[in-house]
Amino acid sequence: MYFEFKNVSVHYDKVQALQNVTLNLEQGEIVALIGANGAGKTSTLRAITALAKLSSGEIWFGGKRIDRLEPAAVVALGVSMVPEGRHVYPFMSVKDNLLMGAYLRRDKNDVKRDLDRVFMRFPRVRERLKQQAGSLSGGEQQMVVISRALMAKPKLLLLDEPSLGLAPMVVRDIARAIVEINRDEGISIILVEQNSRMALKISHRGYALETGRIALTGKSTDLLNDDHIRKLYLGA
């Protein structure tokens, strides 16, 4: 298995955010993680990136146990995260934001090639290259943050609510970009979304989290037609 999240529990003081959660990811998959606010979706990503300490359980990636590593070491292994709420460096230029994603890299020629690849995927990022990132629209900032994560040359990309607060047309553009990144670059993706319909439409498999536990899992096409999922998350 390429990525394994095995029986993980996470506490914040006396509050339990995750309880014995197990999920996995095959190389080249998009896996959706859906659920209501407070279900534990972001805590799952924080655990993967070593930003939240595990109370119990193990996390494995590419045959290596990573839950005992520091965040920078997790990034160096090829795990990159797009945080909820975009979080650009607002007073830095778009170009400098992108280069921050490549901070740990030493392959300067490849960095330039990856910049060009980002510009092909998100032409608007190239158009805004010299602007301060904080002056961009919400959709443009999301493109910058995804591009910044790609500049780290990830093998596993974690996306936390990439559609949050965006107009429907921009959401479609972001969804299309996620599919293309996975298909064209072979990057495995864990997609956390409250827009459950979008997440399940573009992913291969899905997990539904409820109050820190996995409530349901399966192929995304099956979950889209599951009565429980439709009632709770799809507005059906």
Name the strand (E) or helix (H) holding 197.
helix 196-202
Which residue, 129, 153, 177, sits at the end of a domain? 153
Task: Specify the CATH number for the domain of residue 212.
Answer: 3.40.50.300
What is the CB neighbour count within 10 angstroms for residue 229?
22
Which residue, 102, 124, 153, sits at the end of a domain? 153
What would the pLDDT profile of 147-190 be if each residue is shown by its tens digit?
A: 999 999 999 999 999 998 889 999 999 999 999 999 999 999 99
> Would you call 230 exposed, middle or buried from its count of C-beta atoms within 10 A (0-12, 13-18, 19+)?
middle
What would the pLDDT profile of 27-57 be if each residue is shown by its tens digit?
A: 999 999 999 888 999 999 999 999 999 999 9
Q: Which domain holds residue 226?
A: 3-78+155-233
Confirm if 115 and 98 have CB atoms less than 8 A apart: yes
| Position 235 confidence tier, pLDDT thresholds 50, 70, 90 | low
pLDDT at 198 over 90: yes
- Asked if the structure places residue 52 within a domain, the reply is yes
N- to C-terminal Cα separation, the chain:
34
CA 183 to chain centre: 16
The answer on 163 and 53 residing in a single domain is yes
Closest Cα partner for 187 from 74, 78, 102?
78
> Considering just the CA atoms, what is the radius of gyration of the chain in Å?
17
What would the pLDDT profile of 68-104 be if each residue is shown by its tens digit?
A: 999 999 999 999 999 988 789 999 999 999 999 988 7
Which residue, 110, 136, 153, sits at the end of a domain? 153
- Asked if the structure places residue 49 within a domain, the reply is yes
Phi, psi of 7 (to 5 degrees): 50, 50
What would the pLDDT profile of 109-147 be if each residue is shown by its tens digit?
A: 888 899 999 999 999 999 999 999 999 999 999 999 999
